Chains A and B, each alone.
Chain A
């Protein structure tokens, strides 16, 4: 079974600085999808960014970008110019190409200091 590991329970970043959240996963599949979700204090889960495994180019959404290393099975999230509103729990998730379920990591709490 696929697993997703987020090895950093908590991270802190100074406002306007850059932070990278780590995620590794285990799969024997060659095609799949990866996601980062954000859960702010309101607890509403929000999609931040997604990556298709067949695409070599790293996904980018404004201040959010990923470093997708397929051979290493690594999918880290970089947040540039951190803002107070970025403070949240961040979850990495994996989906098989034709699967119906997401496999979530345990999450990383990101604190942003002013």
Chain B
């Protein structure tokens, strides 16, 4: 069966520090991968998605970037965090036409 791992679960970072959040999927090949951000009590904002290695689509201009160095690995990065980058970050994967997305457990990022 397929599983998705996302880490860390919680992260507290100072303003101006770098960021790296990692997401990996097991049990499937060539999945679509997604990064979302969710503010407290709000909906999901799609940040990036990828349909293959090295293929990244950015949905919202911002201080973040994404990379997909391997088929089942998706990384969210920032060179210098801003206070506004605080939030809950979710990774998800999907496969096939039906496009059901399966989500990781999320990372709670606090930028202080």
Contact = CB atoms under 8 A, between A and B. Distances in A.
A104 B44 contact: yes
Contact of A44 (B97, B100, B106): B106
Interface string A85-104: 00001010001011111101
Contact of B103 (A44, A50, A52, A98): A44
Interface string B61-103: 0000000000000000000000000001010101001111111
**Secondary structure at chain B's binding surface: helix, strand, loop or mixed?**
strand
Given A100-B51, A101-B49, A107 B43 contact: yes
Contact of A102 (B38, B42, B101, B105): B101
Interface string A31-62: 00101000000111111001010000000000
A19 interface: no
A45 B90 contact: yes
Contact of B43 (A47, A98, A104): A104
A93 B55 CA distance: 24
Given A44-B105, A91-B44, A104-B43, A99 B99 contact: yes
Given A45-B90, A45-B103, A50 B98 contact: yes
B32 interface: yes
B59 to A, nearest CB: 8
B49 to A, nearest CB: 6
Interface string B45-62: 010010100000000000
Interface of A: 33, 35, 42-47, 50, 52, 89, 91, 95, 97-102, 104-107, 109
Given A44-B105, A50-B98, A50-B100, 12 more contacts: A33-B98, A42-B105, A45-B92, A46-B103, A47-B102, A91-B44, A98-B97, A99-B99, A101-B34, A101-B46, A105-B43, A109-B41
6 contacts: A33-B98, A43-B88, A43-B106, A47-B101, A50-B98, A100-B32
